[in-house]
Structure 1
């Protein structure tokens, strides 16, 4: 694994089952900041003194108005992102999944949320790394990955997935 990044973030994927048996995931179009325009999971920066779990509960509510109890979140791993051509973008992201929450998703200043069927993930509109690990996480697998982005800061130039055990 790569060294620990000073920039720690968290991301969550909320899942629900439709009446027809298909499962959907809540994603959102990022409206501001890093990754603006991309479709992303809910989440953001872990504040000083805050655990990843505390941060993701706060971020979900800030970005979507949904309230998730800490016990309803399952930590699914860690994904590390290196941006050699823009070091201040490098970050480590703790990944969570939840199937229980209160409320209905609402648009915020940061994200415009929408539900996507798992078999129709908008991977082409997401960060380039998502195609390498997100489907597995949404299928219930843990992830531990290192991703290095190229000079364009958009395309993965190298990645490694490790055994998360």
Structure 2
């Protein structure tokens, strides 16, 4: 999260979708060390959110993305810190799956992923909208603290 008084920290997440499966990622670094989510990370200076998603996927999984689709944006507030999350999905990728210094990617049943032990609370909240490929683009506002998500709202855009 961005420090108090700073612009919101831009972060990206990408849901890679296979035949009834989603590529999950067990994080091995902070924040959320040990939890399961999807690959992603901070947008770097000069990158678009799309470019950041493509870079993060290749760095964290070894896959190279073809086409990707922006599925939603979440404004996340935690105390004085703020982040803006850009959520993408793709079925168009190639390469050989590998782990990185930041975590371990693995394929898992999309349907069962929401009840997987250790799954990140943000994944549980947002995945149903992203895994449903017919769902409209969304904008969300999420308030969280050390104990997790406190409140949220969604609007279809």
Fold match, TM over 0.5?
Answer: yes
Runs of 4+ in 1 over 6 A off after TM superposition: none
Question: RMSD over aligned Cα, in angstroms?
Answer: 1.7
In structure 1, what is the Cα distance between the partners aligned to 2:83 and 2:25?
Answer: 20
Q: Corresponding residue for 1:20?
A: none
Alignment equivalent of 1:44, drawn from 41, 49, 63: 41
2:13 corresponds to 1:16: no
Question: Is contact 2:37–2:123 with CA below 8 Å preserved after alignment?
Answer: no
Q: What do the CA deviations read for 1:126-158 (whole angstroms, capped 9, x no partner)?
A: 2223322211211112321111113xx241111
TM-score, scaled to structure 2: 0.88
2:74 corresponds to 1:94: no
1:25-40 paired onto structure 2 within 5 Å: 25-40=22-37
In structure 2, what is the Cα distance between the partners aligned to 1:154 and 1:91?
Answer: 17
Alignment equivalent of 2:128, drawn from 115, 130, 135: 135
| Alignment: residue pair count | 149
Q: Corresponding residue for 2:141?
A: 146
In structure 1, what is the Cα distance between the partners aligned to 2:154 and 2:29?
Answer: 29
TM-score, scaled to structure 1: 0.84
5+ long unaligned stretches in structure 2: 1-5
SS at structure 1 position matched to 2:32: coil
5+ long unaligned stretches in structure 1: 18-22
Q: What do the CA deviations read for 1:7-59 (whole angstroms, capped 9, x no partner)?
A: 00100000011xxxxx1000110001211111011111111111000101100
